[in-house]
Amino acid sequence: MKKESKKLNLKFESSEFVKPSSGLSALDFRFRIGYDGKRAANNLTGLGNYSRSLVEHLALQFPDHQYFIYSPKIKESIRNLSLFAKKNINLVLPRKGTSRLFWRSLGIKKQLLSDKIDLFHGLSHEIPIGLQKTKIKSIVTIHDLIFLIKPQYYKLVDRRIYQLKSKYACKNADQIIAISEQTKRDIISQYHIDPAKIEVIYQSCDDSFKTLLSSADQEKVRAKYQLPAKYILNLGTIEPRKNLLLLIKALPKVDSTYPLVVIGKETAYADLVKKEIESLGLQNRVHFLKNIPFTDLPAIYQMASIFVYPSTYEGFGIPIIEALYSHVPVIAATGSCLEEAGGPNSIYVSPNNSEELTNAINKVLNNEELQQTMKQKGIQYVQRFNDDVVSQQLMNCYKKTLSV
């Protein structure tokens, strides 16, 4: 067997790229799109969810094209997802005996050519080395350059690797997708890229956050985690950049009938947070939840009184739009892109001023009319992140890149 990879779910007969006949616009091509699918095939959260959702919604909205997900391996729990059963989505893995170490960076090019891929989309900061020499068009999505903007949060070796991969991709891809205007500005300032090469296309979130659950379903989740009747919610890895310490310092002067519920993986920073909680006597007001199944998160969001996200820097801020879809008022921090995610009717405070955060929380909790306005305006604003909108923008970007 000479082929470098094994393919799963290749449910089509012709591998030819359909060229336009007379009178057919180049934008009407049926084409074959390849994706760096390492995270789609192995990560159950974060970039894994983003990657799977992006491909799945494109395949549903534009079913005439073929979508190839390339990954050196796949997690068994992900292999059985309905995504990989769709007739126009194809999972491609290296065949047995093929080295997986550099397959995504080097070996994959032969497979892309064999599969007659017209466009390759690197979903997170990188594209294969030398891809431009194959004449295959390429797009790379850059989620953030936080490792350059806030280097103190990263190990030196990680920063170097991230920089090498993302800088190469930005220089050599035919088109760059930035997930926020802030990320676009960072790409321009850090890598000196022509702004015309960068298109801002926002992200959406999982569809489960977009439908309000029944009171009965919410109460089942409340009982499962012994959640209070009303609470302030914070979600995200408990690390310095997410800035949970600011929220803890703001809490003593917030109405004590609103405890704080924190969901996130703990790092060493959590020890500092817990020391501050003890110092301020807040042990009974802060509840940490760990290892929460993704399926329970929509209910936890929807039952919250307010969502507070004081992160010092983000590429976009998916938790904010999850909260807005959940009809929950949002308070976030200034200084990066969170205003883009939260819109003009969310409230923003300095990431270094706990008193300002206290005042903002009290302002919302003490004003029911303001709460209702923030909910209504928030759900209107967040419609721009709906999957059909984002998918159309992506497909337009693909067609533009292929037509150049």
Q: Give the pLDDT of the chain (404 residues) as one tens digit per residue.
A: 444 444 444 333 333 333 333 333 444 568 999 999 888 888 877 888 889 999 999 999 999 999 999 998 888 888 888 888 899 999 999 877 677 778 888 889 999 999 999 999 999 999 999 999 999 999 999 999 999 999 999 999 999 999 999 999 999 999 999 999 999 999 999 999 999 999 999 999 989 999 999 999 999 999 999 999 999 999 999 999 999 999 999 999 999 999 999 999 999 999 999 999 999 999 999 999 998 999 999 999 999 999 999 999 999 999 999 999 999 999 999 999 999 999 999 999 999 999 999 999 999 999 999 999 999 999 999 999 999 999 999 999 999 999 97
What's the CA gap between 292 and 265, in Å, rounded?
Answer: 10
> What distances in angstroms separate CA 296 from CA 100, 237, 263, 380, one per listed residue?
35, 17, 12, 24
Structure-block tokens of residue 179: 């997930």
Give the per-residue pLDDT at 40.
87
Instruction: Judge whether 120 and 112 are in contact, CB under 8 Å.
Output: yes
What's the CA gap between 323 and 308, in Å, rounded?
Answer: 10
Q: Give, as one character, the DSSP assignment of residue 107.
A: I
Give the position of tokens 């337009």.
396
Give the per-residue pLDDT at 77.
84
Strand order in the sheet with 330-333: 286-289, 260-263, 232-235, 306-309, 330-333, 347-349
287 membership: H or E segment, kind and range: strand 286-289
SS3 (DSSP) at 44: coil
Give the per-residue pLDDT at 29.
60
CATH entry 3.40.50.2000 includes domain 207-385: yes
Strand order in the sheet with 198-200: 5-8, 89-94, 66-70, 32-36, 119-122, 137-142, 175-178, 198-200
SS3 (DSSP) at 315: coil
User: Of 3.40.50.800, 3.40.50.2000, 3.40.50.740, 3.40.50.970, which CATH number belongs to 5-204+386-403?
Assistant: 3.40.50.2000
Backbone angles phi and psi of 227, in degrees to 5: -75, 145
Closest CA to 89 of 70, 108, 60, 66: 66
For CATH 3.40.50.2000, the residue range(s) in the chain are 5-204+386-403, 207-385
What's the CA gap between 72 and 94, in Å, rounded?
Answer: 6
In one-letter notation, the amino acid at residue 277 is I
pTM of the model: 0.88
Helices (H), 62-117: 76-79, 108-114
Structure-block tokens of residue 312: 């010092």
